[in-house]
Amino acid sequence: MNQAATVDLPGRPLTALTEDEEMFRASVREFAEGELRPRVEEMDEKGKLDPALTSQCFDLGLMGIETPEEYGGAGASFFTAIIAVEELSRVDPSVGVFVDVQNTLVNNALIRWGNSEQKKKYLPQLASEKVGAYALSEAGSGSDAFAMQTRAVESNDSYILNGRKLWITNGLEAEIFVVFANANPEAGYRGITAFIVEKSFEGFSVGKKENKLGIRASSTTEIILEDCRVPRENVLGEVGKGYKVSIETLNEGRIGIGAQMIGIARGALDAALAYTSEREQFGKAVNEFQGVQFQLADMATDLEAARLMVYNAARLKDARLPFVKEAAMAKLYSSRVAERIASRAIELYGGYGFVKDYPVEKFWRDSKIGAIYEGTSNMQLQTIAKLIIGGHQPKAQ
């Protein structure tokens, strides 16, 4: 087994991008600055994405980055998707996670586990016009994802799904859902099965939209399944193998959340650098004081370390090398860094940092979710501990 912790990129640092990656980053940044930034405050206040932005995300190819060209996608790398999430999150993490869920969870699940007919039917729609969502969590099934109560019962050529899903990102906008239900409760987690569910299916409805602390423009909703009939051909992967679909997809998704977090950290640091160069106290710019300089240096160092971890995990994934430990570390550390940098930025702004007229309080609110969704920080610590301890067990005599 390859035990390397980092990907070898001869002649250039891990954070260096290829020419194509640089061009892609520049195009996403132009979109984020020109189209997204003017809408951020209003979307945060209303708690809703501007529909014009969702259409633009499709037009720019941001909703099918890894999807093969034969299905209407860009056929690019996982790392390219990470760049998009980072750049969007630098301006608004709500749009960052909107694109992230589409690419790293929904599209990835279909690309990896879908059969040829499912790919032909759904991937072109997801690349061109329809938003996707990933429905795993329930009220009593968060970190213990396999405690889910949603059930799937065979009925002729279909499955009948009953249950409620909670905390579903993109729930308001989505038309195609990857839904997990237990088709054989007696088998425990080995009965869990993944289904492709369309919003138009009878018995499917979207419930309450949550009023959240941060990433407010990103919709987080309840999903209600009441005798929802799903065709047998919409089983994603194999019956009883949904646990494998969820675990392996979320391992990749955590790198996407890491990208969202470094985007937040970059946005907060950029704002702090601009403000401290303009704000004057005692006859000179605030950033001329050594105490402020040291804080900015700490923030930049934290961000660089987090970026290296996220980029490394993404490169490992693209290289088809083991990356689960690195993904968990990247999500854990980047979420801590985002919250720490955003909090420090508020302090550097002083009283202005505490009001909504300036951007840094929003970055702090947005950062808090990083320690919670797609695996809490404690779950990441558990994953890391298992992998590092398991790799250093004494050999049997």
Q: What angle do CA 69, 93, 129 make, to 5 degrees?
A: 35
Structure tokens at 35: 């189209």
Dihedral sign (CA 59, 62, 68, 71): negative
The answer to whether the CB of 35 falls within 8 A of the CB of 77 is: no
CA–CA separation, 105 vs 64, rounded Å?
11
CA–CA separation, 335 vs 323, rounded Å?
18
Structure tokens at 176: 């195609």
Strands 158-169 and 132-135 come out as: unpaired
Structure tokens at 63: 């909703």
In the chain, beta strands by DSSP E: 132-135, 151-155, 158-169, 176-182, 192-198, 204-209, 220-231, 235-236, 280-281, 284-285
Active site includes 70? no
| Per-residue b or e along 49-81, where b marks 16 or more CB atoms closer than 10 Å to that residue's CB | bbeebbeebbebbbbbbbbeeebbbbebbbbbb
Q: What angle do CA 383, 336, 216 make, to 5 degrees?
A: 105
Residue 237 Cα distances to 68, 186, 191, angstroms: 19, 20, 13
CA–CA separation, 215 vs 269, rounded Å?
18
Q: Return all residues near 364 (Cβ < 8 A) that are at least 6 apart.
A: 268, 339, 342, 343, 345, 346
Catalytic center residues? 374
